[in-house]
Amino acid sequence: MAPSLEDDWVPPRAAVSTGELPSGADIETALAEAYEHCGPITDGNVADYIPALAAVDPSSFGIAVASSRGGLWTAGDAYSEFSIQSISKPFVFALVCEAIGHDAARRKLGVNATGLAFNSVMAIELNDQRTMNPMVNAGAIAATSLIPGVDADEQWSNIVAGLSSFAGRPLTMDEEVYRSEAATNLRNQGIAHLLDGYGFLYADPDESTDVYTKQCSLRVSSVDLAVMGATLADGGVNPRTGQQVVTAVTAKRTLAVLATAGLYETSGDWLFDIGLPGKSGVSGGIVTVSPGKGGLGVWSPPLDSAGNSVRGQLVTRYLSDALGLNLFASVPLN
């Protein structure tokens, strides 16, 4: 583990690398171009290992951009709801950092990429850290087990409240998706018990798996994802409600983990192409964060072989360049 410095030990004039989004008219034009160009693409397949997700309309397609100043722009099915799935992971991790501190969260959950699939058991056995990071299932279930609460019901209530604050509106659970996943999550149950055996789970394994399954079943839209991303982009302040959901330090640490492992074994390719922290989910959603500028939410259910939305990745790559979001771009593309 890298040496840790106290967060109040900073230069007297600590600076940040941020900027403004283009004008609203330019954002609207870029969204329209991305939607028109990517709309006809039919590559990929919807997730079929969860029955409720297998029935989703593959033509569904929504895009939303939320600025850290409160602006919002949309295209397509931006207000249509779907289950958040793994996109819940960074926001639950942020809540854990708020509860126990980011150094304790790193010790208990890890922050390094596995290089293996999101539900890999091999990664648990091969690494002494076991959980590796809170973006893969092992680390995410462990993170859920660290949410404050006297029992599983209180932990669940705290997760709903926290993620609702990120979205700026009350979120509800999709009962059908929850029942479907709860009937097929034997692998996650096995992961939880394996972690428990190694001492890397911090509550009852069956209860933690159930709360994690509920958390993945929360209903969100592309607009919600954009606002949640913009909250992390704005130092933990929801730009639509003004609520300080998490501290700026927590937001910074969460984005670092997202950049490292947000798209699992393809995180390096994602960062190479798009240059931003992002997180995908098997329902076809992707949230992307441009620190200081805003968040991008995309939903398109067909997935590639790694479980990431095909159209969502293409849209995000286009908008990263069109809107000047890439963290590594020192001059405009053209």
**Residues in contact with 260: Cβ distance below 8 Å, sequence separation at least 6, in sequence order:** 111, 112, 113, 133, 135, 267
Under a CB-based contact definition with an 8 Å cutoff, are residues 260 and 267 in contact? yes
Catalytic residue, from 65, 67, 83, 89: name it. 89
**Looking at residue 221, what DSSP letter applies?**
E
Q: Could you give phi then psi for residue 285, rounded to 5 degrees?
A: -90, 150
211 is catalytic: no
**Residues in contact with 271: Cβ distance below 8 Å, sequence separation at least 6, in sequence order:** 259
Catalytic residue, from 212, 221, 257, 293: name it. 212
Under a CB-based contact definition with an 8 Å cutoff, are residues 292 and 313 in contact? no
Catalytic residue, from 67, 68, 83, 86: name it. 86
198 is catalytic: no
- Give the DSSP per-residue string, 109-133: H--S--SS-TT-SHHHHH-TTSS--
Distance in angstroms (rounded) separating the CA atoms of residues 239 and 66: 8
Give the pairing type, strands 294-299 and 285-290: antiparallel
282 is catalytic: yes
4 is catalytic: no
Opening angle at CA 86, ends 84 and 89, nearest 5: 105
212 is catalytic: yes
Catalytic residue, from 56, 220, 237, 282: name it. 282
Catalytic residue, from 165, 178, 264, 267: name it. 264
C-alpha closest to that of 117 among 328, 251, 261: 261
Largest Cα separation within the chain, whole Å, is: 55
Could you list the active site residues? Answer: 86, 89, 212, 264, 282
